[in-house]
C-alpha cells in the first residue's frame, strides 16, 4: 500500500525543525517527526496513521552522537541503533540492542525514535525505565527553543503513547550509568530471532543487593519492579515480578503463558545480573 498524501519538510537546523513542528503540530491531523522510519513508514503504508505533515529530522545538524558524560550516556535523536550498539557506551543498552530486530533495521532505526514510539514489546523503553533515565524534548516558544526533561517513569503513558506533546521534538535520551560493581542482563523469548519478544526482562543488580527489573510485553508500558527486598532469593523475586504483571491474550500467546514466561525470565535475568555483579566484585 502507499501512504496517504502529506507535506514533506526537511529542515537543516534545529530552530527550523522546531518552528515547523510548532506550525504543523497543533490541530487537525498535525505533523509527525520522521527519524529512522522503521516504524513510521510501515504505519503510513498501512494507513494506521495519516499525518498532514512529515518533518524529516535526518538532515538536522547537531542531533547525532553518543556522549559518555559523568553519571551516564546521552544519546542524540539521530543516533542509530547500530551506532549505539557498536559504541558499547552502556552495557545494558548494548545487550538490549542486540535483541532489537535485524541489522538492516538497526542501521536506520534510532534509539530515541524507539523510545518515542513506545511499543510495549520494545526493548529500549524497558532499559530507560529500569535505569531511571529520561528523555529531553524541545519545542519552539516565544522565538526560542525551550527544553524539558521527562523522567522515564512519566514518559511512557500507554501502548504506543509517550509524554511527547504535539509540536515537541525529542532531542536526546539520558541513560544513567550502572552503580560501581553492579551487573545487568536482558533476556527475552521471541518466536523467531529478531521478532518483537513475547516477553522480556532486563535486570540490574547492585553489589549490595539492590535489584530492579523492567518487563517487556506484559503490560501497556514497561513494568518496573524493585525486588531488592527479596535479594538474593531470586525465585521469590521472580514470583513478586509475576504478581505485578497484567498481560493480555493475543494471537501470539495467552495471558497465562506470558505471565508464566515473565516469571521464568525474571529469575534468569536476576541470576545473570547478580553473577555479573559478583564477578565484578571478585
Ligand atoms: C521488521 C521490524 C522488526 C522490528 N523489531 C523490533 C524489535 O524487536 N524491537 C524493537 O524495539 N523495535 C523493533 N522494530 C522497530 C525499530 O526498532 C524502530 O526503528 C523503532 O521502533 C523506531 O525508531 P525509528 O527511528 O525508525 O522511528 P520512526 O519510525 O521514524 O518513528 C517512530 C515514531 O516515533 C516518532 N519519533 C521518532 N523520533 C522522534 C523524535 N526525535 N521526536 C519526536 N518523535 C519522534 C515518529 O513521529 C513516529 O511516531 C522493528 C521494526 C521492523 C520494521
CB 98 within 8 A of CB 85: yes
* Strand pairing category for 31-34 and 156-158: unpaired
Nearest-angstrom CA–CA distance, 167 and 51: 13
196 Cβ inside 6 Å of ligand 1: yes
Kindly tell me if the per-residue pLDDT of 83 is higher than 70.
yes
Torsions phi, psi of 276, nearest 5?
-65, -40
Kindly tell me if the per-residue pLDDT of 28 is higher than 60.
no
CB 130 within 8 A of CB 92: yes
At 27, the pLDDT band (50, 70, 90 cuts) reads very low
pLDDT computed for residue 224 by the predictor: 98
162 Cβ inside 6 Å of ligand 1: no
At 2, the pLDDT band (50, 70, 90 cuts) reads confident
pLDDT computed for residue 134 by the predictor: 98
Q: Ligand 1, atom 19: nearest CA belongs to which residue?
A: 109
Q: Which of 17, 38, 63, 112 for mutating ligand 1's site (highest number of atoms within 8 Å of CB)?
A: 38
Residue range 51-80: average pLDDT? 96
- Which residue shows C-alpha cell 510501515? 42
Residue range 169-190: average pLDDT? 97
Residue range 155-160: average pLDDT? 96
Q: Which of 21, 29, 35 for mutating ligand 1's site (highest number of atoms within 8 Å of CB)?
A: 35
Calculate ∠ Cα 59-98-260, nearest 5°: 125
Nearest-angstrom CA–CA distance, 243 and 263: 9
- Which residue shows C-alpha cell 509475576? 242
111 Cβ inside 6 Å of ligand 1: no
pLDDT digits (tens, 9 = 90+) for 180-222: 999 999 999 998 888 899 999 999 999 888 999 999 999 999 9
167 Cβ inside 6 Å of ligand 1: no
pLDDT computed for residue 26 by the predictor: 54
pLDDT computed for residue 204 by the predictor: 98
CB 84 within 8 A of CB 127: no
Domains of the chain, first to last: 7-56 (3.30.43.10), 67-176 (3.30.465.10), 183-281 (3.30.390.50)
At 29, the pLDDT band (50, 70, 90 cuts) reads low
High-pLDDT (> 90) share of the chain, %:
89
- Which residue shows C-alpha cell 511499543? 119
Nearest-angstrom CA–CA distance, 183 and 281: 10
pLDDT digits (tens, 9 = 90+) for 223-270: 999 999 999 999 999 999 999 998 989 888 999 999 999 999 999 999
pTM assigned to the model: 0.96
| Closest C-alpha among 142, 132, 145, 137 to residue 163 | 137
Kindly tell me if the per-residue pLDDT of 150 is higher than 80.
yes
Kindly tell me if the per-residue pLDDT of 1 is higher than 80.
no
pLDDT computed for residue 281 by the predictor: 75
State the average pLDDT for the chain.
Answer: 94
Nearest-angstrom CA–CA distance, 42 and 66: 27
Amino acid at each position: 500500500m502507499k501512504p496517504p498524501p502529506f507535506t514533506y519538510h526537511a529542515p537543516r537546523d534545529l530552530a527550523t525543525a522546531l518552528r515547523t513542528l510548532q506550525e504543523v503540530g497543533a490541530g487537525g491531523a498535525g505533523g509527525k517527526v520522521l527519524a529512522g522510519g522503521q516504524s513510521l513508514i510501515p504505519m503510513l503504508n498501512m494507513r494506521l496513521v495519516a499525518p498532514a505533515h512529515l518533518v524529516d529530522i535526518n538532515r538536522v545538524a547537531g542531533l547525532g552522537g553518543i556522549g559518555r558524560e559523568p553519571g551516564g550516556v546521552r544519546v542524540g535523536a539521530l543516533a542509530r541503533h547500530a551506532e549505539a550498539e557498536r559504541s558499547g557506551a552502556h552495557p545494558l543498552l548494548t545487550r538490549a540492542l542486540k535483541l532489537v530486530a535485524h541489522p538492516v533495521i538497526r542501521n536506520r532505526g534510532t534509539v530515541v525514535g524507539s523510545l518515542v514510539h513506545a511499543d510495549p514489546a520494545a526493548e529500549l523503553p524497558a532499559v530507560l525505565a529500569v535505569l531511571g533515565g529520561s528523555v529531553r524534548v524541545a519545542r519552539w516558544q516565544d522565538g526560542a527553543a525551550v527544553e524539558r526533561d521527562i523522567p522515564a517513569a512519566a514518559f511512557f503513558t500507554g501502548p504506543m503513547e509517550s509524554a511527547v506533546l504535539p509540536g515537541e521534538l525529542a532531542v536526546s535520551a539520558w541513560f544513567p550509568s550502572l552503580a560501581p560493581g553492579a551487573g545487568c542482563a536482558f533476556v527475552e523469548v521471541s518466536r523467531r530471532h529478531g521478532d518483537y519478544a513475547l516477553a522480556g526482562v532486563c535486570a540490574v543488580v547492585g553489589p549490595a543487593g539492590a535489584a530492579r527489573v523492567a518487563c517487556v510485553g506484559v503490560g501497556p508500558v514497561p513494568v518496573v519492579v524493585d525486588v531488592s527486598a527479596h535479594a538474593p532469593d531470586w525465585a521469590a523475586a521472580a514470583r513478586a515480578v509475576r504478581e505485578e504483571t497484567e498481560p493480555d491474550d493475543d494471537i501470539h500467546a495467552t495471558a497465562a503463558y506470558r505471565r508464566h514466561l515473565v516469571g521464568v525470565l525474571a529469575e534468569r535475568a536476576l541470576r545473570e545480573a547478580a553473577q555479573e555483579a559478583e564477578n565484578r566484585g571478585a
